[in-house]
Each structure stands twice: as C-alpha cells, then as structure tokens.
C-alpha cells in the first residue's frame, strides 16, 4: 500500500444554523447530542479528519443521525460544508482544497475522479432513461462522444453486475430495488473512478441480494484497486468490506482503527454498545 493518501479530509464541519457562543464548546451544557438548546443549531459534522489510501476500503459506522451521510454529501459536493479542507492526490488537483474550487471544477472532479452510489437509487439514476443510457451519462459527462465504445463499456459493466443484457434498454423504474442498486454501481464505475463513495448500499435489500451486491463490491475493489469510502450503520457490512473503520457519533469521530481491532476490542462506550448489539 502506498504511503501518500489519495484523499485527505481535514477538520470538516457542517452546521445547520448560525451557532452561538454557547455551542462553540461541544462540552457545553447547552449542547444536547449535536443540537444546541440555546440557538437551535445542529452540528451535523464536527471536526472530522481522516485519510484514505489508494486501494483501501474505509468504513464509516454510526447510528442514524450521526453525520455519516452528511459528510459524504459534502465530499461529493452535493451540499456545501461550513468549514474544512479536502485534498485529492490526483494530477492537476494536488495541493488544492477542492471545497474551494469553482462549481465547474467540482463537476470535473465528480465526473472524472469520483463515483457515488446513493442509498436511494432515485438520487443516482434517471429512472425514466434506459439502464445503458444511465451508465453512458457519466461517460458523456466525462467527454466521451463515441456511441459504440460507450455501449460496449455499458454492456461489460451490466454483465459485471449480473444484469441480463436483454434488459439493458429497459428503464430502471421497471427494476427491483436490488437491480436498481446494481445499475447504480455500474454507473458509478463506468469511467474507472479512483475514488468511490458508497452510502448505505445494501440497506433495504433482502439478504441474498445484499450478499451478491457486497460480493460484487469486494470483487470490483480487488480487480480495479479502487479506493472506497463505505458508509453504513450495519456492522456486518463494514466487517466484510472495510480494512479500516471510523466510528461516528453526534457528528464526531469517536474511534478509528483497523476494523478487526474495533470489532474485537472496542474502546469507546458507544462502540462497545454497538458491537455487543451485533446479532
């Protein structure tokens, strides 16, 4: 594994509300979990820093409302962060805080460097366009203007995610939830992004589909050496996929380390509770 991280996140902050002197200190009596009782501000993400190394899978666990998805949306530029820095070690981008780039440059990063699989396929796919069109959209956005090559790549990917090719021209709205999720994964992978974000990809899928989607992600990761950030509240998913993990609570990182270590020997009170409630 290389020594230089491909993605560096430093002191990421996201708050909904203006904040007040009472909630500047997170230990203050006014702050209830991540909510300030004095000014009503919600501190969704508080001072989150981590590194992602090439080819690594980083798991992020935490209860619902702990800021996992908000952080991911911030990294993918779906929502603006209040403060913080993000660096991507890619040609032309190194040394720049990508959160401060113009929206055109951010779009370039989304189309060329990032892949995203949303929890709800509705956000990641155009439900009334064909599956192959959905996959092609990302390649078109990255500048491909050759129908033949996009069609070929799309078919390869659909085969990879086990969607029968006879349904390639069908709209995802006719597909089952698991199939939609797999189309979304195929789309995210279409131009071999070095960084892939997965937001609760298996939530809401039945167990057998869950297993095949996880299998697929694992296989893709091994073959293509894509760096991944996997967000989930499901420890089983994290245990299967992630090399290293971060535990979040109330918008903060409370524990980080090797996944095995966290699961075998949790330090923080909340992590202990989480691990012991694992069936």
Partner 1 sequence: MITKPHFAFFDEGSKKEIRRATLKAVAIPGYQVPFASREMPIARGWGTGGLQLTLSLIGKDDVLKVIDQGADESVNAVSIKKLVRHTTGVSVTEDTGEANIIQSRHRIPEKQLREDQILVLQVPNPEPLRKVEAREYLTKRMHAEDDYSGAWLLLFEQIMKYGRMSTGAEHPVYVNGRYMMTPSPIPRFDNPKMHQSKALILLGAGREKKIFAVPPYTDVKSLAFDDYPFAVESFEGKACKLCGSTDVFLDEIIDPDTGERSYQCNDTSFCMEHLNAKEKEEVENSYV
Interface contacts to partner 1, rule CB under 8 A: 103-104, 107, 126, 129-130, 132-133, 136-137, 140-141, 145-148, 150-151, 169
Structure token digits, residue 214: 């996880």
Per DSSP bridges, beta strands 42-52 and 114-117 are unpaired
Q: Which is nearer to partner 1, 21 or 143 (CB)?
A: 143
Q: Which is nearer to partner 1, 107 or 225 (CB)?
A: 107
Reported in sequence order, the residue ranges of the chain that DSSP labels E, i.e. its strands, are 7-16, 31-32, 35-36, 42-52, 57-62, 83-88, 114-117, 195-199, 227-231, 244-249, 252-258
Per DSSP bridges, beta strands 244-249 and 42-52 are unpaired
Q: Which is nearer to partner 1, 171 or 234 (CB)?
A: 171
Distance CA(6)–CA(43), nearest Å, equals 27
- Say if residues 198 and 230 touch (Cβ distance below 8 Å): yes
Q: Which is nearer to partner 1, 128 or 208 (CB)?
A: 128
Residue 92 neighbours by CB distance under 10 Å:
12
Q: How far is the CB of 146 from partner 1 (least distance, A)?
A: 5
Helix axis angle for 147-160 and 131-141, nearest 10°, is 120
Distance CA(219)–CA(229), nearest Å, equals 15
Q: Which is nearer to partner 1, 132 or 263 (CB)?
A: 132
Q: Which is nearer to partner 1, 147 or 211 (CB)?
A: 147
Structure token digits, residue 73: 């949306």
- Say if residues 242 and 259 touch (Cβ distance below 8 Å): yes
Structure token digits, residue 157: 């990917």
């Amino acid at each position: 594994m290389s020594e230089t991280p491909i993605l560096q996140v430093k002191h990421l902050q996201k708050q909904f509300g203006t904040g007040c002197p009472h909630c500047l200190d997170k230990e203050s009596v006014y702050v209830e979990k991540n909510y300030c009782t004095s000014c009503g501000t919600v501190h969704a993400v508080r001072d989150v820093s981590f590194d992602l190394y090439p080819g690594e899978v980083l798991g992020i666990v935490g209860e619902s409302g702990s800021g996992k998805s908000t952080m991911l949306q911030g990294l993918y530029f779906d929502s603006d962060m209040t403060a913080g820095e993000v660096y991507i070690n890619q040609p032309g981008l190194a040394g720049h805080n990508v959160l401060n780039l113009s929206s055109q440059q951010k779009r370039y990063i989304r189309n060329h460097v990032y892949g995203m699989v949303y929890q709800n396929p509705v956000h990641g796919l155009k439900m009334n366009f064909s599956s192959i069109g959905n996959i092609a959209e990302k390649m078109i956005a990255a500048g491909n203007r050759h129908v033949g090559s996009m069609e070929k790549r799309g078919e390869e990917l659909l085969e990879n995610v086990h969607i029968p090719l006879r349904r390639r021209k069908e709209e995802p709205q006719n597909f089952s939830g698991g199939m939609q999720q797999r189309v979304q994964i195929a789309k995210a992978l279409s131009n071999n992004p070095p960084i892939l974000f997965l937001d609760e990809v298996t939530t809401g899928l039945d167990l057998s589909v869950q297993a095949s989607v996880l299998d697929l992600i694992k296989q893709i990761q091994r073959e293509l050496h894509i760096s991944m950030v996997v967000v989930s509240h499901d420890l089983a998913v994290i245990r299967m996929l992630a090399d290293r993990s971060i535990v979040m609570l109330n918008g903060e990182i409370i524990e980080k380390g090797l996944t095995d270590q966290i699961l075998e020997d949790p330090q923080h009170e909340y992590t202990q509770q989480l691990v012991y409630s694992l069936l």
